[in-house]
């Protein structure tokens, strides 16, 4: 259940079901609102995320929290074999992805150890109820040498861009989302950035779970960010 305060954030014990319900509700117009929210820049961010995997054709990639399949389609266009997984059945039902789909909680994936060559995750870290457990699962299902590419929102460092971003993301986006889709969900999405660890903390979380070469890139002036990493062979 969502609170009625300014942050519109669910209680921790309610977060999984609240997030599932919100994404079920916004699934029909999710891609449209995303394109409006990002002025179409999201397509270039997805391409960057897929290219950063550096995987060859026919490698198996998990699109975690795949939504309606935008990132999956970008990966499939690079001849990667994509499996989509999402908590929301509404998102999966509206998916235009090209591969098999799984309804699953990211903290308990029904995938064998080391079965995946690469993982993509777009703008979902802050929606996970237990982020460390989800990172544990990513590490478990990736093979040694497998690649990880995580997209998330960010706050620009430039004062001018930061001001414009705050007005757009915190005020305009909820209005647009409310008009075209679900008001509560699009108030939650900007507020949910409080759940996101800072880059140094996320880097430490990844290293602690057996990832190396953790890199952090700011995109489009810092309104989006990309983390990439490689699964270490723990026997080394």
pLDDT tens for each residue of 217-226: 999 999 999 9
Phi–psi pair at 176, nearest 5 degrees: -60, -45
Task: Identify whether 7 is part of a domain.
Answer: no
Domain span including residue 70: 12-231
| Nearest in space to 27 (alpha carbons), one of 189, 187, 192, 181 | 181
* Mean pLDDT, residues 108-129 taken together: 97
Burial of 157 (0-12, 13-18, 19+ CB in 10 A): exposed
3 belongs to a structural domain: no
Residue 98 to residue 78: CA distance in whole angstroms:
12
216 φ/ψ angles, rounded to the nearest 5 degrees? -125, 125
pLDDT for residue 6 is more than 70? no
- What's the 3-state SS for 92-140? HHCCCCCCCEEECCCCCCCCCCCCEEEEEEECCHHHCCCHHHHHHHHHH
- 90: in domain: yes
- Which pLDDT tens digit goes with each residue over 60-93? 999 999 999 999 999 999 999 999 999 999 999 9
Asked if residue 75 is part of any domain, the answer here is yes
Say if 100 falls within a structural domain.
yes
For residue 120, being part of any structural domain is answered with yes
Q: Please give the tally of structural domains in the chain.
A: 1
**Domain CATH code at residue 62:** 3.40.50.150
Provide, rounded to the nearest whole percent, the portion of the chain with pLDDT above 70: 96
> Would you say residue 117 lies in a domain?
yes
Residue 201 included in any domain: yes
Summary mean pLDDT of the chain? 92
Q: Is residue 157 within 8 Å of residue 220, measured between CB atoms? A: no
């Amino acid at each position: 259940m969502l609170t009625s305060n300014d942050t519109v954030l669910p209680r921790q014990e309610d977060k999984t079901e609240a997030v599932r319900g919100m994404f079920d509700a916004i699934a029909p117009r999710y891609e449209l609102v995303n394109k409006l929210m990002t002025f179409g820049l999201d397509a270039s961010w997805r391409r960057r995320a897929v290219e950063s995997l550096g995987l060859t054709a026919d490698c198996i990639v998990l699109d975690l929290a795949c939504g309606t399949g935008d990132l999956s389609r970008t990966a499939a266009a690079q001849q990667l074999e994509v499996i989509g997984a999402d908590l929301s059945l509404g998102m999966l039902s509206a998916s235009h992805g090209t591969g098999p789909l799984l309804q699953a909680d990211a903290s308990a994936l029904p995938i064998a150890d080391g079965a995946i060559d690469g993982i993509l995750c777009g703008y979902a870290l802050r929606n996970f109820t237990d982020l460390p457990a989800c990172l544990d699962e990513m590490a478990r299902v990736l093979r040694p040498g497998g690649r990880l590419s995580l997209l998330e929102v960010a706050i620009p460092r430039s004062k001018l861009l930061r001001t414009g971003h705050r007005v757009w993301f915190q005020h305009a986006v909820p209005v647009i989302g409310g008009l075209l889709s679900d008001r509560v969900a699009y108030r939650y999405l900007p507020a949910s950035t409080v759940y996101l660890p800072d880059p140094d903390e996320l880097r430490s979380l990844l290293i602690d779970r057996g990832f190396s070469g953790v890199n952090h890139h700011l995109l489009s002036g810092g309104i989006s960010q990309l983390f990439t990493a490689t699964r270490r062979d723990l026997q080394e």
